[in-house]
A and B are shown apart, each in its own frame.
Chain A
Amino acid sequence: MMRVAIVDDEELARKVLREYLGAFGDVEIVAECANGFEAVKAVTDLKPELLLLDIQMPRLDGFEVLELIGREVGVVFVTAYDKYALRAFEVHAVDYLLKPFSSDRLRQALDRARDRIQARQLLPIEDLTASARPPGGRVERVLIRDGANVHVLPVGKIDYAEAQDDYVCFRSEGKRYLKQQTLSDAEAVLDPSQFVRIHRSYILNIERLAKLELYAKDSHAAILRDGTRLPVSRSGYARLTSVLR
């Protein structure tokens, strides 16, 4: 038996999947989720092997769900039409279902997904989410998973990000949020006119900068509005001044 979770915000779309899967016999539906938050919770609590994941959903879209939990579960994408998503799937040779689809097509997608899961083949998550974004698009919020919960940080509310081993720690409104990501990956998706890599271990939201102090020869410290001091490296100082100019 393959344990499957359905993730789609439309009741009728879930109904078709339920009907098709019910006839297969070797598939068990362990969860039906109407949005991305429920999907994250279902994956944490119920550990399905496969998600049938819709792309366009409220609050968290399919790619954001993938970014949050894609390492723990197999995914088959389902979409009606999305120009950027379809191109991303083609580029990375990822299987997907186009609504409406036949029961045979669903069977085929499930079999392929099962083979991939058994071969421990993971989806190229970062590449896929990057190429599904509209050209030149930057993220407007950062998603942090905390067990079964998801925190949504609008980028404007992030003060700075700090590298901590395999994690990035985002500081926002006095709280700290850990995300499993490299600082370079975080840097790549944030708007470079607002977020500057001031140091090997720090990315700063320049709207929080109060002043720059000369710290020692060749090194500066950034003083934030709330008084936090962050180190600024020599190359970080050059990047900062070029953005501020």
Chain B
Amino acid sequence: MHPILTNRVRTALYFASWIPVTALLTAVVTRGGQMPLTEAAVMLVPMCVLYAFVCQASWYLCQTLPLREGQTVRLLGTHATAAVVSSAAWVGIGFLWAFLAGPSFQFDGIVDRYLAQLPILFFSGVLLFLLAVAFNYLLITFEVGQRAEQKALEMQVLAREAELKALRAQIDPHFLFNSLNSINALIMADPAAARRMCVLLADFLRGCLKLGSAERISLGEEIQLAEHYLGIEKVRLGARLAVESEIDEECRNCGVPPLILQPLIENAITHGIAPMLEGGVIRIEARHHGALMKIVVENPFEKNGTKHGAGVGINNVKMRLANLFNGEARLDVDETGGRFRIELQLPCDES
């Protein structure tokens, strides 16, 4: 599609840009009284309107002859020929117009005066055509660049989504192997506990597989998954891990994206409790506030520890929220007073 003539604003701007051109050409042919002003206007206004269209038609030519290296001669030749032919046809039509319109406007001798201006008009015509060609190439290059940029952006968004999908289905290998090691230890010492741990681990893995592929799950399901996870980690970390949770009953039915809470809880363990010698308490809170739901995950952390603060998990959750809720959800991190606190605000749609 023609980039200018198919857009009203651009068309108007384009024709407006011909007003000074028309004025300039009028000034040129009236210089030193060679042509009276009214006569020049009667000649040049229709001629310029016509030529504005002719010059725009050069866009189709540019489109079929894209700028490529090694074709400069062919390109220049074609456009120069097109410019000469167009300009010749243009001044020819001008001549016809002078011949036909001269008598009805009672401009005596207009044909001779026009013929005297013919060379300069022809030269201007060639120049204007070539200018339009250059302008069209600029426009084409710009549009190609813009399209490529947009495409790259779309690709980036797609890649990110795929990455996040893969991530949320992923189970931390450190967690998995440590859990197996705990079971291995319990088999001799406490077979009943080993069996309980096997069931917990199976429930957690099944939950991840099932929930990871769903679009929306209830917060209740997400919390239950977190409870399985924390149950397993309690066996491993022993007295170092304590959990407190306060969940409003009406929140449990709210729909959430699957595994949105899980990375935050994992973060609280791996970057909070596990690096601490004496461990600590993880607090989980979910509150209903009108149409919103507020979820808080809070844990202590070691200030000069080997690992601290936020892992990649939190950034992924942040990005998923931005993608899924278009700015209606937020995640805030607060690290004051030796406690790491994540506050999640989501719209609550009960399902």
Q: Would A58 and B235 count as touching, CB distance under 8 A?
A: no
B316 interface contact, C-beta 8 A: no
Q: Would A99 and B304 count as touching, CB distance under 8 A?
A: no
Among A16, A61, A141, point to the contact of B181 (Cβ < 8 A): A16
Q: Which residues of B contact A9 (CB under 8 A)?
A: 274
**Given that A15-B185, A15-B189, A16-B185 are known contacts, is A81 also in contact with B173, CB under 8 Å in the complex?**
yes
- In Å, the complex CA distance between A60 and B277 comes to 10
B303 to chain A: closest residue by CB: A154
A35 interface contact, C-beta 8 A: yes
Q: Would B181 and A58 count as touching, CB distance under 8 A?
A: no
Q: Would B277 and A12 count as touching, CB distance under 8 A?
A: no
Among A56, A140, A152, point to the contact of B274 (Cβ < 8 A): A56
A11 interface contact, C-beta 8 A: yes
Q: Would A19 and B188 count as touching, CB distance under 8 A?
A: yes
Which size class do B's interface residues fall under?
20 to 34
Q: How far is the CB of B301 from chain A (nearest CB, A)?
A: 11
A19 to chain B: closest residue by CB: B188
- Beyond the given A13-B182, A59-B306, please list 6 additional residue pairs across the A-B interface where CB-CB is below 8 A: A13-B181, A19-B185, A58-B275, A80-B177, A99-B177, A100-B181
B174 interface contact, C-beta 8 A: yes
Q: How far is the CB of A114 from chain B (nearest CB, A)?
A: 24
A98 interface contact, C-beta 8 A: yes
B189 to chain A: closest residue by CB: A15
- In Å, the complex CA distance between A134 and B255 comes to 38
B17 interface contact, C-beta 8 A: no
- In Å, the complex CA distance between A221 and B217 comes to 66
- In Å, the complex CA distance between A56 and B277 comes to 12
Q: How far is the CB of A107 from chain B (nearest CB, A)?
A: 16
Q: Would B178 and A99 count as touching, CB distance under 8 A?
A: yes
Q: In terms of DSSP, what is the predominant structure of the interface of chain B?
A: helix
B276 interface contact, C-beta 8 A: yes
A146 interface contact, C-beta 8 A: no
Q: How far is the CB of B172 from chain A (nearest CB, A)?
A: 8
Q: Would B177 and A81 count as touching, CB distance under 8 A?
A: yes
Q: Which residues of B contact A64 (CB under 8 A)?
A: 306
B172 to chain A: closest residue by CB: A81
Q: Would A58 and B236 count as touching, CB distance under 8 A?
A: no
Q: Which residues of A contact B277 (CB under 8 A)?
A: 35, 58-59
Q: Would A100 and B180 count as touching, CB distance under 8 A?
A: yes
B182 to chain A: closest residue by CB: A12
Indicate with 1 or 0, residue by residue over A116-147, a CB within 8 angstroms of chain B CB atoms: 00000000000000000000000011000000
By a beta-carbon cutoff of 8 Å, the part of chain A in contact with chain B is: 9-13, 15-16, 19, 35, 56, 58-61, 64, 80-82, 98-100, 140-141, 152, 154
Among A16, A56, A154, point to the contact of B184 (Cβ < 8 A): A16
Among A10, A11, A15, A140, point to the contact of B178 (Cβ < 8 A): A10
20 A-B contacts, Cβ less than 8 Å apart? A10-B238, A11-B238, A12-B182, A12-B236, A12-B238, A15-B189, A16-B185, A35-B277, A58-B275, A58-B305, A58-B306, A59-B275, A60-B306, A80-B181, A82-B174, A99-B177, A99-B178, A100-B177, A100-B184, A141-B304
- In Å, the complex CA distance between A15 and B235 comes to 13
A98 to chain B: closest residue by CB: B177
Q: Would A12 and B185 count as touching, CB distance under 8 A?
A: yes
Q: Which residues of A contact B236 (CB under 8 A)?
A: 10, 12
Residues of B183-209 contacting chain A, CB below 8 A: 183-186, 188-189
Q: Would A99 and B180 count as touching, CB distance under 8 A?
A: yes
Q: Which residues of A contact B177 (CB under 8 A)?
A: 80-81, 98-100
A141 to chain B: closest residue by CB: B304
B302 interface contact, C-beta 8 A: yes
A157 to chain B: closest residue by CB: B304
Q: Would A58 and B276 count as touching, CB distance under 8 A?
A: yes
Among B180, B182, B183, B189, point to the contact of A10 (Cβ < 8 A): B182
Q: How far is the CB of A101 from chain B (nearest CB, A)?
A: 8
B178 to chain A: closest residue by CB: A80
- In Å, the complex CA distance between A56 and B173 comes to 13
Q: How far is the CB of A51 from chain B (nearest CB, A)?
A: 18
Q: How far is the CB of A96 from chain B (nearest CB, A)?
A: 13
Q: Would B302 and A81 count as touching, CB distance under 8 A?
A: no
Q: Would B174 and A13 count as touching, CB distance under 8 A?
A: no
B292 interface contact, C-beta 8 A: no
B329 interface contact, C-beta 8 A: no
Q: Which residues of A contact B127 (CB under 8 A)?
A: none
Q: Which residues of B contact A61 (CB under 8 A)?
A: 306
Residues of B150-174 contacting chain A, CB below 8 A: 173-174
